[in-house]
Amino acid sequence: MSWCRWSRPPASPHRASHPPVMPPYCTRPPDRTPPTNYHTPRTSSGKWTSAFHHRGSQRKNTLRHYSKALVSFRIDDKQNTRRLQTTTTHNKSVAFKLSDIGEGIREVVVKEWFIKVGDKVQQFDNICEVQSDKAAVTISSRYDGVVTKLYYEVDQTALVGQPLVDIEVEDAEEDSSQKSAAPERTKEVPKTEVKSERIKVLTTPAVRRIAAQFNVDLININATGKNGRVLKEDVLSHLNMSSDKSNDIPQNDLSVEALSIPVTTGFARMETEVEDKIVPITGFTKAMVKSMTESMKIPHFVFSDEYDVTKLVESREHLKIMAQNRGVKLTYMPIIIKSASLSIAKYPIINSSPDSNCENIIYKASHNIGVAMNTPNGLVVPVIKNVQNKNIIEIARELNSLQEKGSKGQLGFNDLTGGTFTISNIGIVGGTYTKPVIFSPQVAIGALGKIQVLPRFDSEGNIVKAHILSVSFAGDHRIIDGVTMASFSNQLKEYLENPQVLLLDL
């Protein structure tokens, strides 16, 4: 028979179902004499003896002493088990990356943050507004959690596919057990279970702003909306406030007592220190830098002229009323765009472009005429496609739509690309002549000045009042020569000075 030490004592040494507990030095049952070749403990008198050799009081004392040790070991083991079994709610931080917003955009500029570190966000809550070189886009959250980090400041450039913010989301909601032991080892305290639960409140971002403004917990508000949704009226009713005061900001009553300070009259010279300001190039300005840098590689030449558009002014006054009856605002620009398209049909090289190696000329079949306009985001050039197939009313309707989109910053990628010829109207700001810059890969551009009322001689030599439009054209001298540009300008001049001729060619 082989004998071994006890690796761990049984749960109770006094139960009859278990064999007698043996001390770590014992290798045989207590009714046998330990072998002489096995090490046995020494007593206080120096004699070698076995722990269970005597069946009398010595065995009882030994069992009583060893039972206390076992009880102590079990208590410590339970305490250790409590510490190991204690669970908490684990949160993980998710990097919210800037997804591809389409149109080949690889970087955007952060224009405004709607959140800050520490704010709680839910799905579809607005996080920030970004501006590309094409349009402005609002980014919304895909997670519920707490914002822990913002990777960019306002006006910094964010890259598509890179982290935008870090959001700490709850990975799991587990029960947390709190266990404690009394000072006495043999007495246990009942365990207390604490269950953490996160409640979602259905509402809109506007209602959340009102609740955050007045420090109101949405959970405590009686929801009357569909599916338990908290409405704005519910928050106002909770605050005992009318809807016209929902935008008021609560102010703390602070009273400040003014102290009288004796003032000594003196003479001093104030000098304001002015510092240089550094502004990063972003958005539409950055797109303009790229396009103009490429355009300045083109050898430009400029041709200027004056058009007497007195008859056009008179005709437009009558056409404007007819267009209003159709719900369209008619300006001079749609008439000029259509006249330019008819002139391009006679001089198609104006509507061409060279290939990448400048070895071939590509004549464009579609007359896609861009119109430069000023918007709150800077200068943009939206394009009216296939002008050759549209009448003046259709051109005016599309131009009005592009102007409305530009004022709201909603111009898309398709609205700003594909142009074959460009017209810039500097007359709206009071200019007359200018030197326009060609948009590569186009080969020509026209600039219109303001219409001025000036004295001119008529065919009989009399001085008359005339409406004069000053125009300037720039051409790529590699493709277009001066004669061709002058001929194109003369054809356009004939259409604008004699609207009847324009009607014949429509």
**Measured between alpha carbons, how far is residue 196 from residues 170, 173, 199, 273 in Å?**
11, 7, 10, 57
**Measured between alpha carbons, how far is residue 470 from residues 240, 283, 308, 462 in Å?**
65, 32, 9, 22
Interatomic CA distance for residues 270 and 256, integer angstroms: 30
Per-residue tokens: 262:
């004796």
Three-state DSSP class for 284? helix
Interatomic CA distance for residues 169 and 419, integer angstroms: 47
127 φ/ψ angles, rounded to the nearest 5 degrees: -100, -50
Nearest alpha carbon to residue 93 among 156, 177, 160, 151: 151
Per-residue tokens: 347:
């001089």
Report DSSP letters for 380-447, one per residue: E--EE--GGG--HHHHHHHHHHHHHHHHHT---TTTSS--SEEEEEGGGGT---------TT-SEEEE
- What are residue 110's DSSP bridge partners? 130
Annotated catalytic residues are 477, 481
Strand pairing class (120-121; 145-150): antiparallel
The CA-based angle 436-440-443, given to 5 degrees, is 70
E-strand ranges in 273-400 read 300-308, 352-354, 361-363, 369-375, 378-380, 383-384
How many Å is the Cα radius of gyration of the chain? 44
Interatomic CA distance for residues 391 and 337, integer angstroms: 10
Nearest alpha carbon to residue 150 among 137, 131, 166: 166
Three-state DSSP class for 321? helix
Interatomic CA distance for residues 22 and 51, integer angstroms: 8
Strand pairing class (126-131; 107-113): antiparallel
